[in-house]
Every structure is written in structure tokens, then in C-alpha cells.
Amino acid sequence: MKLGPLVLLEWEDSLGCARGWELFEERADSFVTIQSVGWILKETKTAFTLVPHVGRTGGEPDQGQGIMVIPKRCVLKRTTISISSSARPGTRARRRVP
């Protein structure tokens, strides 16, 4: 499967559960703004599937780690990150050896 562009998604997430009991009056009504970077594996009308870590080995199917689905209704900002074609997954970067 071909990956889409490398992006920075700024999105709003819910604030998780506390470890213990909480008084209702002291509970803050807030959200968390998250910044996630990765390649778009899939984009639908309602969500982005983002892959931050891509692994490829000779002849094996592509694989990713940390894949997450982010609802589009939570996304505050999308920024495409421009990189050279040699740095894209699936291409071999040339490395100088001293």
C-alpha cells in the first residue's frame, strides 16, 4: 500500500481518567491539544490513519508501528511536511561512509 504525504496533525483529544476518586466541583472541563507526525496511510471522509514509524525489509510486506486513527472532527490544523524524495519510505537514502 502506498503511503500519502508526511503531515503534522494538531488535534484535540479528551482528558483521561484520574487515578483515584475526584470531587465533582474540582474536576476541570478541559481538553488536550496533541501534535502527531506521520505518513497518511488512509484518509476517509471522517478520519486520518497516521503511521509514525515505517519498516521495510527486502521482499516483505510494508509494516508500521504506532498506527493511529484520528477523527477529522478532532483535527484543528493539518500541515504537510516537505522532505526530499530520498527520505521517503520505500526509497534508499545514500549514506556516506568515512
Find the domain containing 50 and state its range: 6-15+28-87
Q: What is the pTM of this model?
A: 0.75
- Which of these ranges, 38-42, 61-65, 70-74, has the smallest mean pLDDT? 61-65
What is the structure's pLDDT at 5?
Answer: 94
Higher-pLDDT residue of 66 and 17 is: 66
Quote the number of domains for the chain. Answer: 1
The H or E element that residue 32 is part of is strand 31-43
- Report yes or no on 93 lying in a domain: no
Q: What is the mean pLDDT of residues 16-29?
A: 82
* Per-chain mean pLDDT for the chain: 86
Q: What per-residue confidence (pLDDT) applies to 96?
A: 52
Rounded to 5 degrees, φ, ψ at 94 are -85, 135
76 domain-assigned: yes
22: pLDDT strictly greater than 60: yes
